[in-house]
């Protein structure tokens, strides 16, 4: 019974990670495949209304983590499920870009809860959590992957508003199930948190502190730069495929049902499916990377992922259809493969007493950059198109390569003995 409850707990946490990334990318497909036509608003202009939501995704991570520590981590996950579901449903009623931008901001506020709180639960509840972290990360990646597939299908079969309504209702249902499962534990959560964190502070040597600062700087610089690549690829990929996969989609429609001339083809569904396949296959790179991190350490793995991005971003300009699809697979493998590396390094270097706060800062940096990247994507797309964007992303990969090249071969770990805080 206890084992089943434990598995259900972990499953719901994984579903939460899936939904977190799904909700933040619904609008990417809605904007690319529906609103540009229905509202007669340019894709670049629509992106500006999504930026505040991604800023909220980052900024509200710190208060979410603070509330979880002061009140209840399980309680905050319940707030996440129900809050983001209600916000999504409300966004589906939007009648103007400003209204949908407001809805996306509220979605971002609730989306900010998951990473600092969910990761803290996963890393502190179970021992030997390497595979659990990897599995949880894959669920998040599948949320990214499924956003284009699910949204494209719902656009074709129910309209873009349904793409916000149905996931919102599902999330509220998951929240109620989570509340029923964890209600008894929530009442004791606050006292348990106090016992687990304690009042300790590390004492470390000056030389070791300097090494920690050096590596931490590299971690946060690469976090910021890699977030630009992640945002540009995950958010813009449906639009990229919409522009560059029309020939391939036409052949797929003809091959599948031979109704291209007799009915309106479900183009959004096909484009969403192609994006899903790329995201889904690339997401498994995270499991491979997790295994390599334990075997050979972060430096060579990070160099490999950044090199893959550099090569495939440089190959992408001018490509269409099958060639573009293959190269997109390459740069998404590198992009998704980078995701667990910085979390791995933080976990190895950070003191247990401060780990949750450092993770929160990491996500503030990451998601704030995600928000700032959207206006950049819109500006570049409107003025020069996606080919220039790929060249910029290749430059970002060069920056990561330079930063990672000065990482020590062995990461520093907290070598101090903790002492009681006075």
| Range picked from 70-79, 85-94, 257-266 for highest mean pLDDT | 85-94
Contacts of 270 (CB under 8 A, 6+ apart): 152, 249, 252, 253
Check whether domain 2-192+218-408 has CATH 3.90.1150.10, yes or no? no
Q: Give the tens place of pLDDT for each residue, 11-59.
A: 999 999 999 999 998 998 898 888 988 898 888 788 888 888 888 888 8
Name the region of 202 (left: φ>0; alpha: ψ -120 to 50; beta: rest): beta
Helices (H) and strands (E) in the chain, counts: 18, 2
Coil/strand/helix, residue 31: helix
Q: Which helix (H) or strand (E) holds 337?
A: helix 321-349
**pTM, rounded to two decimals:** 0.74
**pLDDT score of 18:** 95
**pLDDT score of 47:** 82
Per-residue pLDDT band for 172 (boundaries 50, 70, 90) equals very high
**Tokens coding 9:** 């707990």
Q: Give the tens place of pLDDT for each residue, 222-244.
A: 988 998 998 888 888 888 888 88
Q: Give the tens place of pLDDT for each residue, 111-124.
A: 999 988 887 787 67
Q: Give the tens place of pLDDT for each residue, 360-417.
A: 778 788 877 877 787 888 889 889 999 999 999 999 999 999 999 988 877 766 554 4
**Tokens coding 50:** 């999504």
Mean pLDDT of 205-210: 64
Q: What percent of the chain has pLDDT over 70?
A: 84
Cα radius of gyration (the chain)? 22
Largest CA distance in the chain: 78
Whether residue 200 has pLDDT greater than 60: no
**pLDDT score of 188:** 65
Whether residue 301 has pLDDT greater than 70: yes
Mean pLDDT of 323-346: 88
SS3 string of 152-185?
HHHHHHHCCCHHHHHHHHHHHHHHHHHHHHHHHH
Which residues make beta-bridge pairs with 201? 419
**pLDDT score of 4:** 80
Per-residue pLDDT band for 272 (boundaries 50, 70, 90) equals confident
Coil/strand/helix, residue 201: strand
Q: What percent of the chain has pLDDT over 90?
A: 33
Coil/strand/helix, residue 187: coil
**Tokens coding 242:** 């919409």
Q: Which CA distances in Å does 208 have to 183, 213, 298, 362, 415?
A: 44, 9, 19, 21, 8
**pLDDT score of 106:** 97
Mean pLDDT of 342-360: 67
Closest CA to 190 of 79, 75, 82, 112: 75
Taking the CA of residue 297 as centre, how many other CA atoms within 13 Å lie in the half-sphere pointing to its CB?
Answer: 9
Mean pLDDT of 119-142: 74
Residue 46 to residue 152: CA distance in whole angstroms: 17
Closest CA to 231 of 402, 341, 372: 372
Q: Give the tens place of pLDDT for each residue, 47-84.
A: 888 888 888 888 898 888 888 877 888 999 999 999 99
């Amino acid at each position: 019974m206890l084992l089943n409850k434990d598995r259900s707990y972990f499953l719901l946490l994984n579903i939460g990670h899936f939904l977190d990334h799904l909700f933040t990318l619904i609008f990417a497909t809605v904007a690319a495949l529906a609103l540009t036509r229905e509202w007669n608003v340019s894709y670049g202009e629509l992106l500006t209304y999504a930026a505040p939501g991604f800023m909220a995704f980052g900024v509200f991570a710190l208060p979410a983590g603070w509330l979880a520590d002061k009140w209840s981590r399980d309680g905050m996950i319940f707030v996440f499920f129900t809050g983001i579901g209600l916000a999504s449903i409300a966004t589906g009623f939007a009648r103007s870009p400003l209204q949908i931008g407001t809805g996306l901001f509220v979605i971002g506020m609730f989306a900010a809860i998951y990473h600092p709180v969910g990761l803290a639960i996963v890393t502190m509840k179970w021992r030997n959590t390497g595979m659990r972290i990897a599995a949880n990360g894959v669920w998040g990646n599948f949320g990214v992957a499924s956003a284009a597939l699910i949204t494209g299908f719902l656009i074709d079969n129910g309209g873009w508003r349904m793409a916000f309504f149905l996931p919102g209702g599902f999330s509220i249902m998951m929240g109620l199930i989570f509340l029923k499962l964890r209600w008894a534990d929530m009442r004791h959560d606050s006292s348990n948190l106090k016992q687990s964190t304690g009042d300790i502070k590390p004492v470390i040597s000056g030389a070791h502190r300097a090494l920690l600062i050096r590596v931490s700087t590299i971690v946060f610089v690469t976090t910021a730069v890699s977030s630009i690549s992640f945002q540009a690829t995950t958010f813009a990929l449906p639009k990229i495929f919409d522009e560059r996969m029309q020939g391939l989609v036409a052949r797929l429609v003809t091959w599948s049902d031979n109704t291209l001339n007799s009915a309106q083809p479900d183009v959004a569904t096909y484009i969403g499916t192609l994006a899903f396949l790329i995201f889904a296959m690339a997401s498994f790179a995270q499991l491979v990377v997790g295994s390599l991190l334990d075997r050979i350490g972060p430096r060579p793995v990070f160099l490999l992922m950044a090199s893959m991005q550099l090569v495939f971003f440089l190959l992408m300009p001018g490509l269409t259809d099958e060639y573009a699809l293959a190269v997109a697979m390459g740069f998404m493998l590198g992009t998704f493969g980078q995701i667990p590396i910085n979390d791995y390094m933080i976990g190895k270097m950070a003191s247990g007493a401060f780990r949750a706060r450092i993770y929160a800062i990491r996500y503030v940096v990451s998601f704030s950059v995600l928000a700032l990247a959207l206006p950049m994507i819109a500006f570049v797309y409107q003025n020069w198109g996606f080919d220039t964007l790929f060249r910029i992303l290749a430059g970002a990969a060069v920056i990561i390569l330079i930063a990672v090249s000065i990482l020590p071969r062995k990461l520093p770990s907290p070598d101090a003995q903790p002492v009681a805080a006075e």
